[in-house]
Structure 1
């Protein structure tokens, strides 16, 4: 009868060493998309209906009004 130690590194199901890194070409498109969405959200929260407006009326301003104050952007 053989006994197996708790740290038997010959076992193929026990991972030993470092995991391979994620290639940059797989991360870059998602990072670019996340950055673009973040810039658009920052624009709408900080600037829309303030100094510059893409849409008529105050709908966007009223929608993000509380978030604007929560993040420290003055609007009035």
Structure 2
């Protein structure tokens, strides 16, 4: 049982101001575009990061799973 003098804690309201929401949306969009580039566009030979195939080979199976052709 509860005691009559026990204080109840209230849930704090969630602060979602327009600026904070815009910052989170921007960061999420940038991260999504980076993932899309590395999984879908980076081909190794046309890579922005040089002639290595490390990124291509690392995400190779994800490319096929998501339907991106690579060879």
TM-score after normalising by structure 2 = 0.70
- Residue ranges of structure 1 left out of the alignment (5+ in a row): 1-12, 14-18
Name the residue aligned to 1:37.
31
**Structure-to-structure mapping, 1:1-76, within 5 angstroms:** 22-49=16-43, 52-55=46-49, 56-76=51-71
* CA radius of gyration, larger in: 1
Q: After the TM superposition, which segments of 4 or more aligned residues of structure 1 sit over 4 Å from their partners?
A: none
- Residue ranges of structure 2 left out of the alignment (5+ in a row): 1-7
Q: Whose helix fraction is larger, Structure 1's or Structure 2's?
A: 2
- Quote the RMSD (CA, aligned, Å): 2.2
May I ask how many residue pairs the two structures share in their alignment?
60
In 1, Cα distance between equivalents of 2:32 and 2:45: 20
